[in-house]
Structure 1
Amino acid sequence: MNDPHKRPDTGERAPSKAATPAEEFFKRYRLPLTRFFSKRVGADADVDDLVQEVFTRIYSQDRQGGLENPNAYIFQVAANLVRDRARRSATKQVFSRSLELDSADRVEELSPERVLQGKEALKALQRALGELPQRTRAVFLLHRFEGFKYREIATRLGISTSAVEKHMMAAIRHVAERVDRDDG
């Protein structure tokens, strides 16, 4: 048998290209993460996406030192993804049911005036959010639109839970003032 990695002249193995730390990390955790997600979500296409999301989240964070306990950290990120996925799914189901009930009961209420009011309110909200500092806006959107808890936002943004609370209070106050002012 011919080994493609052996040098033909000496029979020694050719030096292989050394894997990068990221490649080694991926090789080490890909299969355990695949098993983890397979047990919890089932759908094969979703499993691959979730595994990729774990690696994306880990490598998107700027870590000066290595991970103190990589196993715990990686599977905590994975568990958070499963929770986030379940939360989004539940929110979509509730919203869909609510929308079905609303549309069945109030089809005649979608007058041109009501549509215009909704568009204007949305523009006022967008303007108010655009005026917020970037971190305050991120905290507000993660909590109100993505359903993250303060503790999760703090971890994700690398700030304290108290700072998340302060950003939320500032955002709510600002948005309420701006939307009320634009309505008046």
Structure 2
Amino acid sequence: MSADQDREGRRTAALFAAHSPALSRFLSRLLGSPDTAADIAQESFARLLGMTRTKPVQDERGLLFTIAANLARDHLRQRARRPEIDIDQIAWSLPSDAASPEAALDSRRRLELLRQAIEDLPPRSREVFLLFRLDGLSYRQIADRLGISPRTVEYHIQHALAFCHRRLRERAPYSAPPQRP
């Protein structure tokens, strides 16, 4: 860092420390929003520093407050031109992610049919299927645990899936498939 940059940095820090609290209060009262006031104060300091790099200014504080007041007026003018947005009204008009009562009832019914289909599986197919789906075991882990080949594990899982799909089609032919997000 050069001596000029160091001097400029110290001058910027001193300017900010000297005027930031008063400028923030001034802008907060004018705008009614501390967050907007902070944004405009930061922009005001940036513009002041840009101006003072090219030519010296007699009254930095006065220029800073003039810049801030102009930016605040511009902001208020823009805000007045924008229509007021009622967030609550928008939220009520958006479609809901929640399932309709009919869809929730249909899902519960399909889930019960699936539970029953799994219970009706042959014991070995049910055991393999539950180890795979509920416990998250791999074909190899299931094969090792049950003393069967991975190919047999694959057969039992395919058999269980086909059986469950068939049962759901037979017993719930008119229900819509579940919606995916």
Give the TM interval when normalised to the shorter protein.
0.3 to 0.5
Asked which structure has the greater CA Rg, the reply is 2
TM-score by length of 1: 0.41
TM-score by length of 2: 0.41
